[in-house]
Amino acid sequence: MQRGWIIPIGGGDKKVRSSTILQRFVELSGGADARMVIIPTASQLDTAGQRTQDVFGQLGVSDIEIVDLATRADCADPKFLEKLNAATGIFFTGGNQLRLATTIGGTLAAKALRAANARGVHIAGTSAGAAFVCEHMIAIGKSGGTPKRGMASLSPGLGLTNRVIVDQHFRERDRLGRLMTALAYNPFATGVGVDEDTAAFIGPDDVIEVFGSGGLTIVDPSELEFSSMADAQTGAAVGLIGLKLHILLAGDRYDLNTRRAFPSAGP
């Protein structure tokens, strides 16, 4: 079976409502026939699920379920697991990604979500939801352009992919340094910094396509020649030599297999 799309969105909900991002997500999930599940676990706002449901309703989806996994016990509830298993599209709202990791991680719901994506269900998340979809999640961190030891703390995420580490609200909150810090800890993955009102549509072939009005910052550490991370003191700047960086806009693509970027007019 072909894996479903993985869609981290950079946040900025008001802008996302009027963009092409959720329209594209709905089309992939079946359009008017989509069976959409919204998971508002990351948010402390009681209205987060309903507001997102209203947006999908405006986009023509009628079958929408809000599955509020508020506790770890909820994540084993058969009625919630049944809804996850029936979905064609699953959407995580924003909020706090540690709330997602500590509530859902290691549960039957997490297993059901991974199995759903593996059999072709598309999973998107905005803001905190974007960070959570990866195996390696930036849990907390500080702003700034220069990587520093301790600038980012990682925790396990949902684990839909281990090919990327995602950071959201990227340009708006000056997060290049913390993404590079996360990559410097173990430079095997590709860093994906997602601006607000922007999404990285990661296809089943592991090719990313950019949607939205902002940019996608790709940090490729595959040819890293030198890192001072191991010798740096906590809070000290970290030297990294050999990183490759791309700024991609709507329609541009990046192949995670070959680590090559292509403009929208390219092959």
10-63 residue pLDDT tens? 998 666 666 789 999 999 999 999 999 999 999 988 889 999 999 999 999 999
Q: Which whole-number Å values give the CA distances from 101 to 42, 48, 51, 181, 237, in the listed order?
A: 9, 18, 23, 21, 29
pLDDT digits over 241-256, tens only?
999 999 999 999 999 9
Of these residues, 65, 122, 136, 169, which one is catalytic? 169
- What's the confidence (pLDDT) of residue 19? 73
pLDDT tops 60 at residue 168: yes
- What's the confidence (pLDDT) of residue 43? 94
CB atoms near residue 240 (< 10 Å):
21
Residues 124, 70, 78, 159: is their CA dihedral positive or negative? Answer: positive
pLDDT tops 80 at residue 266: no
Largest CA distance in the chain: 55
Q: What is the domain partition of the chain in residue ranges?
A: 6-252
- What's the confidence (pLDDT) of residue 14? 65
Element (H, E) at 103: helix 97-104
Backbone angles phi, psi at 16, to 5 degrees: -60, -35
Averaged pLDDT for residues 126-152: 97
In this structure, are residues 155 and 182 in contact, taking their beta carbons and an 8 Å threshold? Answer: no
Averaged pLDDT for residues 226-254: 97
SS3 category, 90: strand
Residue carrying structure tokens 């079976």: 1
Angle between helices 21-28 and 48-58 (to 10 degrees): 80
The highest-level CATH class for domain 6-252 is alpha beta
Based on the residue annotation, tell me whether 127 is a catalytic residue of this protein. Answer: yes
Of these residues, 43, 136, 196, 227, which one is catalytic? 196
Beta strand residue intervals within the chain, DSSP E: 6-9, 35-39, 63-66, 89-92, 122-126, 136-141, 152-156, 164-167, 190-194, 198-202, 207-212, 216-220, 226-227, 240-241, 244-248, 253-255, 260-262
Q: Give the HSE-up count for residue 172: Cα atoms under 13 Å, Cβ half-sphere.
A: 13
pLDDT tops 60 at residue 267: no
In this structure, are residues 180 and 206 in contact, taking their beta carbons and an 8 Å threshold? Answer: no
Q: What is the pTM of this model?
A: 0.96
In this structure, are residues 170 and 10 in contact, taking their beta carbons and an 8 Å threshold? Answer: yes
Among 219, 209, 174, 216, which residue's Cα sits nearest to residue 194?
A: 216
Of these residues, 43, 127, 136, 209, which one is catalytic? 127
Averaged pLDDT for residues 190-219: 97
Averaged pLDDT for residues 184-199: 96
